């Protein structure tokens, strides 16, 4: 109400504070169904409208003795307060049930790291998460004592609602590992597993069968390798509105990752996956740590994807695929090495895939992971084979 008052009457807001407070005290409260004035004095205040009404009706005296008036006044106040307490209890019960529907019990142990929601130094009405601080002990069902070194009071007690678990950051940006295809492939070396002896074979295969399998891999060496090939007859196109452009801000990369990222960028450049660019487009790089500790290089194409025209090519349904192989005697599964990187980009669209690194601006010459429509292009290729 104060904010609205200041917005509508910026030049004389201070002169209408008195009638504003009067209206606030005279208004019925939703929870108690009584005004604040009635709960304190037992009757409605005599405002301007009440005075005008009294003049119209011309009341004459109290009509009762002073003693009788005092008793009735006390009775009205007691009755109003009793009804207000009952209404307030009912409303509070409803509010409590609604609040508890989405609440969960949170507990912290001594030594845990937590963040605290505290007002900023510039505004007491604006709170931010500060910390982390160490939990010393639990002092009540929902209160914890925290250790805050360097503060005026090093030990302070806070309610659990002001606390949040501190999670040690594992990387610059975390993404869901379930969407591996959208994030991009892992970045392995350029080695050949059949030469390094790292080919895993089923234990049920005999020695003769294993030798035949190794001979097959050696015969088709160009197929069984980690370096992706390059298909012909299909190119990935990026259709965007004319005049559209994506140029995102630079996101700093942690220093301890830069050496490893640079090595992977150089490998991708050596393989012909990327090249140096002078494109006006720019998307940020997103390094992600996998569960096994290795590094995955991804590009955040979310803003670019919002501009790309959707490719409605039909995708195969898992149920239909299972029905096709239901009566098969042998089922063979082949895992393609960086399948998207085997499809070249259309020459006019390479610039749209550009991404920035500390070592320059690069663009993809092959179809990158994470692009809208990449899955449709790959499925179209598979259906034509």
pLDDT above 50: residue 308: yes
264-270 own/partner pairs: CB under 8 Å, 24+ apart: 264/187, 264/295, 264/297, 265/297, 265/357, 265/359, 265/362, 267/187, 267/189, 267/190, 268/187, 268/297, 269/362, 270/190
Cis peptide before 132 (omega within 30 of 0): yes
Phi, psi of 161 (to 5 degrees): -65, -20
Phi, psi of 253 (to 5 degrees): -105, 135
Listed ranges 2-6, 120-124, 181-185, 305-309; the one with the highest mean pLDDT? 305-309
Q: Which pLDDT value is given to residue 361?
A: 92
Helical (H) or strand (E) element with 32: none
* Mean pLDDT in residue range 85-89: 88
Per-residue pLDDT reduced to its tens digit, 339-383: 888 889 999 999 999 999 988 999 999 999 888 888 888 888 888
Output the DSSP codes for 227-249. S----SS--B-----TT---BPP
Residue 278's pLDDT band (boundaries 50, 70, 90)?
Answer: very high
Per-residue pLDDT reduced to its tens digit, 107-120: 888 888 988 888 87
Q: Order of strands, edge to edge, in the sheet holding 355-357? A: 274-276, 360-364, 355-357
Residue extents of the structural domains in the chain: 2-92, 113-165, 180-190+226-384
Of 49-58, 65-74, 179-188, least confident by mean pLDDT is 179-188
pLDDT above 70: residue 334: yes
Q: Which pLDDT value is given to residue 315?
A: 84
Task: Specify the pTM.
Answer: 0.47
Share of the chain above pLDDT 90, in %: 12
Q: Which pLDDT value is given to residue 190?
A: 38
* Mean pLDDT in residue range 197-223: 77
* Mean pLDDT in residue range 35-61: 75
Query: Interior CA angle at 236 toward 233 and 238, to 5°?
Result: 150
Q: Which pLDDT value is given to residue 195?
A: 52
* Mean pLDDT in residue range 124-135: 82
Residue 280's pLDDT band (boundaries 50, 70, 90)?
Answer: very high
Give the CATH fold of the 180-190+226-384 domain: HIV Type 1 Reverse Transcriptase; Chain A, domain 1 (3.10.10)
* Mean pLDDT in residue range 149-173: 77
Buried b or exposed e, range 121-149, using 16+ CB within 10 angstroms: eeeeeeeeeebbbbbbebeeeeebbbebe
* Mean pLDDT in residue range 219-233: 77
CATH architecture of 113-165: Roll (2.30)
Q: Which of 333 and 282 is assigned the larger pLDDT?
A: 282
pLDDT above 50: residue 323: yes
């Amino acid at each position: 109400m104060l904010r609205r008052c200041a917005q509508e009457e910026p030049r004389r807001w201070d002169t209408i504070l008195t009638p504003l407070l009067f209206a606030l005290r005279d208004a019925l409260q939703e929870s108690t169904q009584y005004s604040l004035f009635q709960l304190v004095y037992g009757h409605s205040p005599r405002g301007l409208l009440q005075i005008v009404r009294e003049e119209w009706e011309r009341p004459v005296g109290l009509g009762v003795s002073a003693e009788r008036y005092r008793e009735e006044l006390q009775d009205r106040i007691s009755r109003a307060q009793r009804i207000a307490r009952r209404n307030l209890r009912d409303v509070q019960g409803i509010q409590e049930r609604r609040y508890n529907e989405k609440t969960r019990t949170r507990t912290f142990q001594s030594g845990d790291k937590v963040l605290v929601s505290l007002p900023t130094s510039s505004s007491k009405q604006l709170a931010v998460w500060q910390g982390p601080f160490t939990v010393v002990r639990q002092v009540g069902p929902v209160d914890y004592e925290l250790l805050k070194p360097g503060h005026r009071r090093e030990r302070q007690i806070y309610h659990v609602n002001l606390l949040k678990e501190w999670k040690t950051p594992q990387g610059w940006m975390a993404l869901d590992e379930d969407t591996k295809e959208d994030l991009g492939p892992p970045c392995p070396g350029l080695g050949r597993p059949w030469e390094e002896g790292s080919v895993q074979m089923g234990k049920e295969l005999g020695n003769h069968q294993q030798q035949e399998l190794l001979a097959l891999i050696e015969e088709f060496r160009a197929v069984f390798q980690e370096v992706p090939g390059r298909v012909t007859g299909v190119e990935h196109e990026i259709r965007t509105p004319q005049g559209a452009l994506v140029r995102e801000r630079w996101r700093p990369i942690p220093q301890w990752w830069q050496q490893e990222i640079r090595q992977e960028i150089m490998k991708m450049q050596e393989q012909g996956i990327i090249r140096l660019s002078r494109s006006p487009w720019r998307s940020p790089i997103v390094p992600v740590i996998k569960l096994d500790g290795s590094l995955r290089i991804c590009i955040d194409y979310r803003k670019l994807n919002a501009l790309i025209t959707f490719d409605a090519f039909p995708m195969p349904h898992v149920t239909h695929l299972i029905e096709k192989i239901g009566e098969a005697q042998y089922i063979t599964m082949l895992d393609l090495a960086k399948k998207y990187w085997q499809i070249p980009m259309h020459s006019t669209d390479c610039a749209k895939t550009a991404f920035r690194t500390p070592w320059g601006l690069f663009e993809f010459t092959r179809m990158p992971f994470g692009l809208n429509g990449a899955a449709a292009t790959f499925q179209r290729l598979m259906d034509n084979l």
